[in-house]
């Protein structure tokens, strides 16, 4: 570290000749806090289903910014919404109403059937809001109950409370002491759930389809039991739809598959199409916060609100949830046709949140081989591959994906 401030002015990345990708990578390794193993490429540009790196190499993107870029990369509607809003009002203050904030609250409540919307920037923050609301409900209505039952293998975010809510065994020992008040039970096991709920319980929280956990859906029967249990005991039911919401699973919201309506639903990822935006929706019954108990600097930030309005309008107008269903079925049939030849099993998922298992734990190698071939896919665990492309993916792009994937599997097998 240097304390010489006079050098600061002379350090200008753009002003100096740049050594290209190798230099970018060296600078990345030097200046970024290490938190993730990333491949040695620097992404520079995106358009539709494709990303380009600084070497000009093109990638067909079946990760979609982690189920985020639902309209593809740099779509016109997001560019225009940002342009228009930036020229009008970038930021007022979280303590004032602004027009796009009101518009988005109205749009989302009408679309989802909930009554009230709270906005934030990330999925973890929306889930923190839900956790706080559940504890408030426990304090006001359940004699101080504060425990939240969540599921094994779930993912709810990376703040301390949402890490504590997350049912990931590799996180158990991390950052002790964890936020107390979370119990984890296996998904689709009603008996374990009944055993875990007691007078300390204020809420049950789950993903209708576990995303990071490897694409595992909650059964309709299980969800009925959960809803009934919550109704009988006065518990709040929270669905984390950060990954599944807004068309991803082939319906507008994943709760629609089985008709089980939660009391609180959180949204993130796709709602901003790549811009940081999340939301927590609930009913009038849970309009329980007093001023000052929940908020934040970027709550209802006008740029984010304008993007949210544009993205949600686009999904609804183009019926992208229906397209996701159709394309999900198409890709599933394509994967099934490869299953025998490559030993793929448990092809699963809904809409464009899909996964399958490999015959051997070579997921990371397959991800690398696909990337080499110009295809981005995700391996949430060594034996599992997950696909979560933008909702705009076409049949010919799906065919390209299947061809690149089988080519990469051929090469892996030849090694
Ligand atoms: C990604 C994700 C989160 C966390 O969202 P961030 O924006 O990374 O904070 C929470 N829940 C689920 C189901 C997710 O997929």
- Cis before 194 (ω within 30): no
- Whether residue 303 contacts residue 82, with contact meaning beta carbons closer than 8 Å, is answered with yes
For residues 173-187, give the mean pLDDT. Answer: 96
Mean pLDDT taken over the chain: 95
| Ligand 1 atom with minimal separation from the 278 CA | 7
Closest ligand 1 atom to residue 210 Cα is: 13
In a domain, 3, yes or no: no
- Is residue 356 domain-shared with residue 400, that is, in the same domain? yes
Q: Which domain covers residue 207, as residue numbers? A: 76-317
- The answer to whether 67 and 211 are in contact (CB under 8 A) is yes
Answer yes or no: do 397 and 282 share one domain: no
The answer on 114 and 254 residing in a single domain is yes
Q: Is the pLDDT of residue 8 over 60?
A: no
Is the pLDDT at 176 greater than 70, yes or no? yes
Q: Are 266 and 409 in contact (CB under 8 A)?
A: no
Identify which of 198, 69, 190 has the alpha carbon closest to the alpha carbon of residue 144. 198
- Confidence band of 12 (pLDDT split at 50, 70, 90): low
Q: Is residue 6 part of a domain?
A: no
Does residue 2 belong to any structural domain of this protein? no
Q: Is 124 labelled as part of a ligand binding site?
A: yes
Helix intervals (H) in 89-122: 99-112
Residue 322, Cβ density class (10 Å: 0-12 exposed, 13-18 middle, ≥19 buried)? middle
Residue 280 pairs in a beta bridge with: 118, 266
Flag whether 1 is in a domain.
no
- Calculate the dihedral angle through the C-alpha atoms of 187, 188, 191, 197, rounding to the nearest 10 degrees: 50
Q: Are residues 120 and 209 in the same domain?
A: yes
Q: Is 240 known to be catalytic?
A: yes
155 is a catalytic site residue: yes
Nearest-CA residue for atom 11 of ligand 1: 156
Residue nearest to atom 10 of ligand 1 (CA): 156
- 303's CB contacts (< 8 A; 6+ apart) are 82, 85, 86, 90, 91, 275
Residue 123 known to bind ligand: yes
Q: Are residues 110 and 227 in the same domain?
A: yes
Q: What is the 168 CA–ligand 1 centroid distance (Å)?
A: 14
Query: Is the same domain home to 184 and 330?
Result: no
Instruction: Report whether pLDDT(13) > 80.
Output: no
> Is residue 182 annotated as part of the catalytic site, yes or no?
no
Q: Of 71, 70, 48, which Cα lies nearest the Cα of 58? A: 48
Distance CA 264, CA 286 (A): 8
Distance of alpha carbon 146 from alpha carbon 73, whole angstroms? 41
Q: Which of the listed residues 125, 154, 212, 276 should we mutate to test ligand 1's pocket, taking the one with most ligand atoms within 8 A of CB? A: 212
Asked if residue 182 lies in contact with residue 163, where contact means CB atoms within 8 angstroms, the answer is: no
Residue 296 lies in a domain: yes
Q: Do 261 and 371 fall within a single domain?
A: no
CA distance readout (Å), 186 to 122, 179, 210, 357, 390: 26, 20, 12, 20, 30
Which residue of the set 240, 258, 263, 357 is catalytic?
Answer: 240
Domain membership flag for residue 182: yes
Residues lining ligand 1, Cβ inside 6 A: 122-124, 127, 155-157, 207, 211-212, 240, 242-243, 268-269
Question: Does residue 4 lie within any of the structural domains?
Answer: no
For residue 141, the domain's CATH number is 3.40.640.10
Looking at the domain assignment, is residue 114 inside a domain?
yes
Q: Is 38 annotated as a binding residue?
A: no
Number of structural domains in the chain: 2
pLDDT, tens digit, for every residue of 349-390?
A: 999 999 999 999 999 999 999 999 999 999 999 999 999 999
| pLDDT of 391 over the 70 cut | yes
Q: Which of 317, 352, 370 marks a domain boundary?
A: 317
Task: Estimate to the nearest angstrom the gap between the alpha carbon of 140 and the chain centroid.
Answer: 31
CA dihedral 46→52→53→59, nearest 10 degrees, is: 120
Rounded CA-CA distance 196/189 in Å is: 11
Residues 30 and 174 both lie in one domain: no
Query: 255: which DSSP letter?
Result: G
H-helix segments, 275-362: 302-317, 320-342
Which of 268, 296, 350, 352 to mutate to test ligand 1, by most ligand atoms within 8 A of the CB atom?
268
Q: 299 and 191, same structural domain?
A: yes
Q: Within this chain, do residues 193 and 212 fall inside the same structural domain, yes or no? A: yes
Domain end call among 317, 337, 365: 317
Alpha-carbon distances of 356 from 11, 216, 310, rounded to whole Å:
48, 11, 33
* pLDDT, tens only, 256-311: 999 999 999 999 999 999 999 999 999 999 999 999 999 999 999 999 999 999 99
Q: Show which of 317, 332, 364 is a domain's final residue.
A: 317
pTM of the model as a whole: 0.95
Note the pLDDT of residue 17.
Answer: 74
Specify the pLDDT at position 257. 97
Q: Write the residue with the smallest CA distance to atom 15 of ligand 1.
A: 243
Does 165 count as an annotated binding residue?
no
CA dihedral 27, 29, 33, 38 (to 10 degrees): 120
Q: Are residues 80 and 66 in the same domain?
A: no
Q: Which tokens belong to 303?
A: 């740029």
pLDDT tens string 216-243: 999 999 999 999 999 999 999 999 999 9
Q: Are 188 and 289 within one domain? A: yes
CATH assignment of the domain containing 339: 3.90.1150.10
């Amino acid at each position: 570290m240097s304390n010489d401030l006079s050098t600061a002015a002379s350090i200008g990345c753009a002003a100096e000749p740049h050594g290209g990708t190798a230099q970018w990578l060296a600078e990345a390794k030097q200046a970024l806090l290490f938190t993730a193993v990333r491949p040695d490429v620097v992404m520079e540009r995106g358009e539709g289903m494709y990303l380009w790196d600084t070497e000009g190499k093109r990638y067909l993107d079946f990760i979609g910014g982690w189920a985020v870029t639902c309209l593809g990369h740099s779509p016109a509607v997001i560019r225009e919404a940002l342009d228009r809003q930036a020229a009008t009002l970038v930021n007022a203050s979280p303590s004032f109403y602004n027009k796009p904030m009101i518009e988005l609250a109205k749009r989302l409540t009408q679309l989802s059937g909930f009554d009230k919307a709270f906005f934030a920037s990330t999925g973890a923050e929306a889930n923190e809001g839900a956790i706080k609301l559940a504890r408030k409900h426990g304090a006001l209505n359940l004699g101080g109950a504060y425990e939240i039952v969540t599921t094994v293998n779930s993912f709810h975010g990376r703040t301390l409370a949402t890490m504590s809510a997350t049912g990931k065994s590799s996180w158990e020992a991390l950052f002790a002491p964890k936020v107390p008040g979370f119990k984890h039970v296996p998904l689709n096991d009603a008996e374990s759930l009944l055993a875990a709920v007691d007078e300390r319980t204020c809420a049950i929280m789950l993903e209708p389809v576990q995303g990071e956990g490897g694409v595992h859906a909650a059964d309709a029967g299980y969800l009925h039991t959960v809803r009934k249990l919550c109704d009988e005991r006065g518990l709040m039911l929270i669905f984390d739809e950060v990954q599944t919401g807004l068309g991803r699973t082939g319906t507008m919201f994943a709760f629609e598959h089985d008709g089980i309506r939660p009391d609180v639903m959180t949204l993130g990822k796709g709602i901003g199409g790549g811009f940081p935006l999340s939301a927590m929706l609930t009913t009038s019954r849970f309009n329980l916060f007093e001023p000052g108990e929940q908020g934040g600097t970027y709550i209802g930030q006008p740029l984010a609100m304008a993007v949210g309005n544009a993205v949600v309008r686009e999904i609804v107008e183009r019926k992208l949830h229906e397209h996701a269903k159709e394309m999900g079925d198409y890709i599933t049939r394509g994967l099934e046709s490869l299953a025998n030849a490559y030993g793929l099993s448990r092809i699963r998922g809904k809409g464009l949140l899909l996964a399958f298992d490999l015959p051997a734990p070579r997921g990371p190698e397959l991800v690398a081989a696909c990337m080499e071939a110009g295809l981005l896919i995700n391996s949430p665990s060594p034996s599992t591959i997950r696909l979560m492309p933008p909702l705009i993916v076409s049949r010919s792009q799906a065919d390209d994906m299947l061809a690149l994937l089988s080519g990469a599997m051929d090469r892996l097998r030849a090694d």
